[in-house]
Structure 1
């Protein structure tokens, strides 16, 4: 197993080589003696035939969570600018998230990751490089500070609670309301704090950036992962199917919930129609659902997708509208953002609606998420 020093040296070597390749053969990237113990390396960058050069002080790190940017890197670059306006800070890492990259740009800190995310802007000599690499962390990239991520059904429960219920929160209350183990809740909250998605005062969560939290969760999931759904055709069309669903027996009415485009269209209208996506509860058999609704199995051209319900929590906060169950707005946003085609745009539109009218969907307590009935 490689030691931290070896990993850092390899990361520096790969980062310097990547920077040299981006600049091209007419530029020289030369390591210089590093007199400071605050930074990992010092580089001189200079073009052929130009006496001007810039110095880049390098921070090489295996992970760049947003909290690390704000608490470690920003104070460093502020101190650096007080000493020398012509020296710049460059962060090199295996991978840098979109949120961390945005914070680095806002604070004038250059960055380069090994997947191709690069943002470097130097005034003299003039260097402007902006490239986009991986939006998701490669499997080979080290996880940020904690191994607990926003992937998986358990994380979905906690994200929904944090988004839907107004703070303050305590970890013990979230543990009880979610049904998740207290150690897991604590680890995930640590991850969210590192990503600046929550803020705590002692043990109390005082603020939740629920918009970015929902986006971050969606980035870790895929609504239509392999084997998670079945495509079928409604012979009389989706509107007729929605009118038919309330006439089913109670086990089907309770076990089928609309998500995706049709759930978003209750609140916003980006486009009309789309595929009807139905979560199928585990007590229902998909073949029985197909028979009960008179659906036709098809290889292509499905207008109805039957999704395997990953967790009963997706029905928390659901509403019955004219006898049909629709997932809560926060669940619809997550599914749209993690869906194909135009669905992410529908998710963003729904997020805008939720930002403008939070009182219509956010709750004051963690115990009021049972499905309710709405008649139109």
Structure 2
């Protein structure tokens, strides 16, 4: 690997570099062919991780696993030695795990890291796994723990020899790395319904309260709450949920959702322009207070009405799932179906939770804030940035939109 003359080498990660004394090396993120393989043997996992790090550092460095030098019994799985060309080396204690959660990162792994530092303050703990989620990466970095996964997520900071590596790999678990447990993921309609309820309602409450409020089975709710607890998205005191990190919860839900794929949009053209459609919606809402149960605005136009970030974009409208509702809404609002060049998208709402806790903004009914944030964060183009702007808006007005108890499931919000 070239050093100084490689300064313009393009990387596939967000940023990646390693410095050794006065030298700076720009490092490529590991090849896309390195997909996570679930439940590979520990030795295979360790060896592939070693190869990945060796490839990043280049031939002037030596990266070696030294399992025979274990000094901590069952506390860690191997010792990784990284040696520079001039013979300066560091040994890192390695914890190899098939899966690691944020809760493990701030719990047992942080305890292990503290133990390692007590033995030798210059020794660091390195966690190796087939894939490490963004939330877990964040928790590991906060605890000063290095990590490496086989999709290219690597964080390594060593003072001597001077090494700093931070590469960005897969944000989502690769195929084949699905949890074997019965705990559900944040995908699907039921998860979306529970996520909205958790975000929209101030705790404390129990799983039984949530199951009743969301009209979901108690076993399902309990399993999903276990997942959220593992991800540090909720905090429990015994069986009572006492805190919900609603911003990270909505981001986590959006990370496992694709707005356009899940809503089967139908492209429409507004012959008189989008503003004419919004005016027509305002007029209908004034004439028929129940019209919010027919059409709700989401996406860019809804976000812009509360937290302006950009201009343009498509108007997105939710209708009830079935095709006749799409046709009726199009006729009602003077829209024409088109195969391309649509300035309006009619989305099919697959779950009743989309219609709960809506907002009236400027005379137009829009989806509730938690639904809007999730839609934008999981949408295409600049929509995720608009979703982040909505999260900022929500954080500044939490006392307005978050309900005080689960009895206000259908109460609307006005801005």
| Normalised TM-score (structure 1) | 0.93
Partner of 1:19: 53
**Cα displacement string for residues 22-45 of structure 1 (whole angstroms, at most 9, x for unaligned residues):** 111111112221232210111211
Partner of 1:168: 204
Equivalent pair of 1:31/1:43 in contact (CA under 8 Å): yes
Distance 1:152 1:5 in 2: 25
**Cα displacement string for residues 75-111 of structure 1 (whole angstroms, at most 9, x for unaligned residues):** 1111110111222111111111112111211222111
Q: 2:223 aligns with which of 178, 184, 187?
A: 187
1:318 is the counterpart of 2:358: yes
**Which SS does the other structure have where 1:138 is aligned?**
coil
**Which SS does the other structure have where 1:306 is aligned?**
strand
Deviation at residue 46 of structure 1 after TM alignment: 0.6
Distance 2:193 2:321 in 1: 17
- Across the aligned residues of Structure 1 and Structure 2, the Cα RMSD in angstroms comes to 2.1
Sort the Cα spacing of 1:324 and 1:371 in 2 relative to 1 into closer, same or farther, 3 A. farther
Equivalent pair of 1:264/1:329 in contact (CA under 8 Å): no
Sort the Cα spacing of 1:68 and 1:178 in 2 relative to 1 into closer, same or farther, 3 A. same
Sort the Cα spacing of 1:113 and 1:12 in 2 relative to 1 into closer, same or farther, 3 A. same
1:247 is the counterpart of 2:284: yes
Deviation at residue 126 of structure 1 after TM alignment: 1.1
Alignment of 1:261-276 (within 5 A): 261-276=300-315
Q: 1:41 aligns with which of 55, 74, 78?
A: 78
Deviation at residue 226 of structure 1 after TM alignment: 7.0
Distance 2:124 2:40 in 1: 25
Q: 1:288 aligns with which of 328, 345, 352?
A: 328
Distance 1:20 1:358 in 2: 48
Equivalent pair of 1:234/1:304 in contact (CA under 8 Å): yes
Distance 2:346 2:80 in 1: 56
Worse overlay, 126-135 or 293-302: 293-302
Alignment of 1:56-95 (within 5 A): 56-95=92-131
Sort the Cα spacing of 1:359 and 1:221 in 2 relative to 1 into closer, same or farther, 3 A. same
Sort the Cα spacing of 1:137 and 1:279 in 2 relative to 1 into closer, same or farther, 3 A. same
**Cα displacement string for residues 193-223 of structure 1 (whole angstroms, at most 9, x for unaligned residues):** 0000001110001111111111111101011
Equivalent pair of 1:63/1:145 in contact (CA under 8 Å): no
**Which SS does the other structure have where 2:261 is aligned?**
coil
**Which SS does the other structure have where 1:225 is aligned?**
helix
Partner of 1:200: 236
> Which ranges in structure 1 are unaligned for 5 or more consecutive residues?
none
Equivalent pair of 1:66/1:99 in contact (CA under 8 Å): yes
**Which SS does the other structure have where 2:410 is aligned?**
coil
Equivalent pair of 2:315/2:344 in contact (CA under 8 Å): yes
Partner of 2:137: 101
Q: 2:342 aligns with which of 294, 302, 310?
A: 302
Deviation at residue 281 of structure 1 after TM alignment: 0.5
Partner of 2:266: 230
Partner of 1:364: 404
Partner of 1:346: 386
**Which SS does the other structure have where 1:63 is aligned?**
coil
**Cα displacement string for residues 119-175 of structure 1 (whole angstroms, at most 9, x for unaligned residues):** 101011111111100111112224386541111111111111111100101000000
Sort the Cα spacing of 1:87 and 1:142 in 2 relative to 1 into closer, same or farther, 3 A. farther
Sort the Cα spacing of 1:7 and 1:295 in 2 relative to 1 into closer, same or farther, 3 A. same
**Which SS does the other structure have where 2:260 is aligned?**
coil
| Normalised TM-score (structure 2) | 0.84
Deviation at residue 369 of structure 1 after TM alignment: 2.8
> Which ranges in structure 2 are unaligned for 5 or more consecutive residues?
1-37
Distance 2:250 2:62 in 1: 43
Equivalent pair of 1:264/1:347 in contact (CA under 8 Å): yes
**Which SS does the other structure have where 2:306 is aligned?**
coil
Worse overlay, 171-180 or 94-103: 94-103
